[in-house]
């Protein structure tokens, strides 16, 4: 029997990567993200916060 997915990795935390991270977080998964940019973590968190608010309004978070 296959184990359910509990954790995912996102390579690249720009616009698309942070969008995927938000969607995975909204689905209850643990997310690890990596990006070579030194300011990627802050930008990704800000993008996820914006996406999270929209997802909450739509009932998908």
> Residue 1 pLDDT > 90, yes or no?
no
pLDDT at position 60 is 85
> Residue 61 pLDDT > 90, yes or no?
no
Cβ neighbours around 38 below 10 Å, total: 7
Residue with tokens 């739509």: 58
pTM of the complete model: 0.87
Residue ranges per structural domain of the chain: 7-58
CB 10 within 8 A of CB 42: no
For residues 15-37, average pLDDT: 96
CB 12 within 8 A of CB 37: no
Enumerate the β-bridge partners of residue 40.
none
Nearest Cα to Cα of residue 60 among 26, 33, 11? 26
Enumerate the β-bridge partners of residue 9.
32
% pLDDT > 90, the chain: 93
For residues 36-55, average pLDDT: 95
């Amino acid at each position: 029997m296959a184990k359910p997915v509990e954790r995912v990795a996102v390579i690249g935390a720009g616009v698309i990567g942070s969008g995927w991270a938000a969607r995975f977080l909204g689905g209850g998964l643990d997310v690890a993200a990596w990006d070579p940019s030194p300011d990627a973590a802050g930008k990704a968190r800000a993008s996820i916060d914006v996406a999270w608010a929209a997802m909450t309004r739509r009932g998908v978070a």
